Amino acid sequence: MLNSLDAPRSHWLLKSSVHSFYLDTFLRHYPQAKLIMIHRPLDAVLPSFCRTQLTAVNGFFDEADSISRDRLMKRCIQCIGKMVEFIMKFRAHRHDQSDQSHNNIFDVTYDILIKSPIETVRRIYGHFDLRWSNEFEAAMEAWIRENPQGKQGRHTYSLSEFGLTHEDIEAQYADYINLFLRSSATDCAQTNQLLPTNEQPESL
């Protein structure tokens, strides 16, 4: 449908955290899709997500309506917890299938992507056997130069304003953190340290 309206010169690039809930379904309908899974420390993800959602609905709350705000924050935290759970289940399932099932997945940490964007994209293209060109690299360099991080302002948030602590997050999501954020294999598309499908993190 997208191709019939606006066919890309190379490929579509879609970004949505909602995809985390339906990765198996997504690949069942689009088996040739290639997944780039960017992993960011959850002590940044959780308060950022809460702040974004709160900003979006702030106009609907009375300033004194702390109960509704607290309920929203609880739902936001539960939502992230479910995303992590679905990602872990998906990766465990893919791991159980065959080594070939990992070829369409590339893992990278957010910190590495920000630190070395060109090199990271080069590795992504190499992993998926996509065509690289000097013109493409020059275009990326120009875009990065003209659009530095923070150009549109800074998104501020903290764990404490949402009743979260680094220690709680480390304990709650230890398996995800150890698998994707601490291992030297973080940036590889394959890993042998996946959770069993019946061992999933609980919601905060």
Domain extents in the chain = 20-59+66-150+157-182
Residue 113, token pair as written in the block: 């992507």
Total-model pTM? 0.80
Residues of the chain with pLDDT under 70: 1-5, 62-64, 97-102, 183-204
d(CA 194, CA 204): 21
What is 20-59+66-150+157-182's CATH superfamily?
P-loop containing nucleotide triphosphate hydrolases (3.40.50.300)
Residues 6+ apart with CB under 8 A from 181: 39, 41, 109
End-to-end CA distance of the chain: 39
Residues 50-59 as b/e (b if ≥16 CB within 10 A, e otherwise) read bbeebeeeee
d(CA 78, CA 46): 10
- What was the pLDDT predicted at 3? 65
